[in-house]
Chain A
Amino acid sequence: MNNNSLWSDALYRLSKNKAAMFGGFILILLIFSAALAPIIAPYSYSYQDLNLGASPPSSEHLLGTDILGRDLLSRILYGARISLLVGFVATGVALVIGVSWGIVAGYIGGRVDSIMMRIVDILYGLPFIIFIILLMVIFGRNLWLLFGAIGAVEWLTMARIVRGQVIGLKNQEFVMAAQAMGVSNLQMFRRHLLPNILGPIAVYATLTIPQVMLLEGFLSFLGLGIQPPMSSWGTLIKDGVESMEEYSWLLIYPGITFTITLFALNFFGDGLRDALDPKTSEN
């Protein structure tokens, strides 16, 4: 099938891209260690050794302990669960809204399209970060609201990309043939349009995850995101900043972890884009 060769070509190109493969490798490592955190973490994330207090890295606590005597490595591993969860779930929310919005606008076209895209234009111009903060203040800081609020903000670009792709597909013969056979709109979206725009969707989703993780970190850093006793990398960095003068490792290790993850996601996303659409990689 033609479809398969596109993906296998892309996979081949991706495997030739060292930076992307390295990013992908780091990501897989991270996802596994986050999933297996309860097994591989040396301590529980809330276990306190009060006699120890903040201690620099040692053989017992590889990355040291925080002010409350909690093992930093374990807290980073458990924090990865929250940070990655927010990254993936909120991106998922954005994906669902953005793709449905874009497909409907692009496929139906005409007036519906121009109204729907005008709404996107207007929402683009609003300071969404402020609305997220507003929602967190009004409805309390819970994880589900955070997923929803971030997802509700990040779907706009996805809607634009998908709409553009669908408009390109709309006039092709196979879509017209399907129309002539009386395929329902829902079937059209699911069977004919969606499979053909999976590439750009995958690329953009990969590049949205780091954006979302940044946003979560930003909110948690301000104290408006993840609340204790749960901790994400954002809250770890926030705690690290508060005690960085004496205990700089509390800032540096979570910071390095966060940065490496963002690097990995960006490299992998860029590599995926180049692999799926060799034209853009020329610049």
Chain B
Amino acid sequence: MLAIFIKRILIAIPVLFAVASITFFLIKIAPGGPFDADRAVSPQVLKNLNEAYNLDASNWEQYLDYMGGLLQGDLGPSFRFPGRSVTEMIATGLPVTFELAFYAILIALLMGIFSGVLAALKRNTFLDFIPMAIAMIGICVPTFLMGPLLVLIFGINLEVLPVSGWDQLPGDKILPSLTLGFAYAAYIARLSRGGMLEILNQDFIRTARAKGLTERMVVIKHAMQGGLIPVISFLGPAIAGLLAGSFVVETIFQIPGLGRFYVEAAFNRDYTMILGTTIFFSAMIIFFNLMSDLAALWLNPRSRDAS
């Protein structure tokens, strides 16, 4: 267990380093500097700006400088918002995005596992068909359509929930969390149904039933532990997906989180911000993937005992 953990960490470090380097040089070959976008700046001002942001140094010097800063958690200044550092902006947006992602995952797990397990237990009845049909809808209706539709129904037609914002009006967190969580609820429902069906056919479940355990005990103590491993493995990649989803959801609902910052940075060509958030996102996703893999390993008794 520990050996796997250390090995994975040792792989993650060079990967992150490579990501940072590749992104850095990709941005260096991008056409146009950060200051020649919309309004013309006099040559003197441009020179001063370049000096202030160390852009007149050679690419190598800038690279070493940046990497040095990165090791200390300094991602450099934002090109678009003078006086603010990228680290600072990430620190402002991150709690919001985390909160949104947390609610979304919570909704996804509760809805997904409940309906998936139920569907597996009541296989081929309408308690199976209906949740699975809804799950199919969740998979086929993209987030960028689901969000506006929910706004249209609950915000504009029924006028029961706020249409945008975060932490400003009561209930304004419900629609964004639901929008982001729904697609994952659908995947989790399908995964847990599949996982449960596989486990429920196995011999140790028959043994558990034969020794007279109640159906509830069989399901909760024996079947779910193994049947939900696919769900745990899915959580790591899901975090990566949630991030992409947060771009959309934060844009639709005008939430001041990291996802919206990133999309805005992409539009504004705020290169340092793009670079910083890319590295940060990569680190986060590598970390969550690692965590979900380890959790899945640990939950599976065969691999737990082997290592």
Binding site for B on A (CB under 8 A): 122, 124-127, 129-131, 133-140, 210, 214, 217-218, 221-224, 234, 237-238, 240-241, 244-245, 248, 251, 255, 258-259, 262-263, 266, 283
10 interchain pairs (CB within 8 A)? A124-B237, A130-B281, A131-B278, A133-B262, A135-B26, A218-B144, A218-B248, A245-B156, A258-B142, A266-B140
Chain B residues with CB under 8 Å of A262's CB are 139-142
Decide: A223 and B267 in contact? CB cutoff 8 A: yes
Decide: A134 and B23 in contact? CB cutoff 8 A: yes
Decide: A263 and B144 in contact? CB cutoff 8 A: no
B294 within 8 A of A: no
Chain B residues with CB under 8 Å of A222's CB are 247-248, 251, 263
Given A127-B243, A218-B248, A248-B152, answer yes or no on A263-B281 (Cβ-Cβ < 8 Å): no
* Of the residues A134, A139, A248, A263, contact of B136 by C-beta under 8 Å: A263
Residue of A nearest to B252 (CB): A241
B interface: dominant SS: helix
Chain B residues with CB under 8 Å of A140's CB are 31
B61 within 8 A of A: no
Please classify how large the interface on chain B is, using the bins under 10, 10 to 19, 20 to 34, 35 or more: 35 or more
Decide: A217 and B140 in contact? CB cutoff 8 A: no
What CA separation (Å) do A251 and B146 show in the bound complex? Answer: 11
What CA separation (Å) do A209 and B287 show in the bound complex? Answer: 29
* Of the residues A125, A224, A244, contact of B15 by C-beta under 8 Å: A125
Chain A residues with CB under 8 Å of B160's CB are none
Number of A-B residue pairs, CB cutoff 8 Å, is 111
Mark out the residues of chain B between 21 and 57 whose CB falls within 8 Å of any chain A CB in the assembled complex.
Answer: 23, 26-27, 29-31
Decide: A137 and B274 in contact? CB cutoff 8 A: yes
What CA separation (Å) do A128 and B2 show in the bound complex? Answer: 29
Decide: A122 and B15 in contact? CB cutoff 8 A: yes
What CA separation (Å) do A127 and B197 show in the bound complex? Answer: 32
Given A125-B285, A266-B140, answer yes or no on A130-B145 (Cβ-Cβ < 8 Å): no
* Of the residues B140, B148, B262, contact of A263 by C-beta under 8 Å: B140
Residue of A nearest to B157 (CB): A248
What CA separation (Å) do A179 and B275 show in the bound complex? Answer: 49
What CA separation (Å) do A244 and B147 show in the bound complex? Answer: 12
Decide: A217 and B142 in contact? CB cutoff 8 A: yes
| Residue in B23, B29, B145, B251 with the greatest tally of chain A CB atoms within 10 Å | B145
Decide: B29 and A138 in contact? CB cutoff 8 A: yes
What CA separation (Å) do A138 and B286 show in the bound complex? Answer: 24
* Of the residues B19, B194, B262, contact of A126 by C-beta under 8 Å: B19
